[in-house]
Amino acid sequence: MISYNSENTFQLSNESQISTWLEKVILNEEKKLGEINFIFCDDDYLLKLNVEFLQHDTLTDIISFDYTVGKIIQGDVYISTERVADNAVDFEVSLEDELRRVMVHGILHYCGYKDKTDEDAKLMREKENHYLQLFANIQ
């Protein structure tokens, strides 16, 4: 089950479509959906989590807490809608496109993909692009 919660005023407008897409991503990665919670928040909220749990005193667009067991994907994904909006402007994409990229990025981490090295980051970006295209195809 995928759930959506908000610690700010953000509301996801197409929850069912996003859920269907993310479930397909998980199945395509040969995993099973457990419980995934997306929590939308502001920069301050996410910064506090970043400092407390990761000891990083920097702004970020996403922090994911992975509770995956075996092939069952589970976790909490915190997304700063402020960061996503700023990044959308910087990357010259729509807010919706950037939000989907960040959401699938979190799911891909749960599927075992990393992004710390250049090679890993390149593979992560290729996977993101692949699944963003999948979203475009299921609309």
33 by Cβ neighbours in 10 Å (0-12 / 13-18 / 19+) ranks as middle
Domain boundaries, given as residue ranges, for the chain: 2-138
Mean pLDDT, rounded, for 70-83: 96
As annotated, the binding site for Zn(2+) includes 105, 109, 115
Residue 113 has φ and ψ, to the nearest 5°, of -80, 145
User: What are the structure tokens assigned to 55, written together?
Assistant: 């000891």
Indicate the pLDDT class of residue 60, thresholds 50, 70 and 90. Answer: confident
Residue 133 C-beta-side C-alpha neighbours within 13 Å:
6
Indicate the pLDDT class of residue 13, thresholds 50, 70 and 90. Answer: confident
Mean pLDDT, rounded, for 46-67: 86
Q: Does residue 73 surpass a pLDDT of 70?
A: yes
As annotated, the binding site includes 105, 109, 115
- Pairwise CA distance, residues 56 & 51, whole Å: 5
> What's the CATH number for 2-138?
3.40.390.30
Provide the 3-class DSSP secondary structure of residue 94.
coil
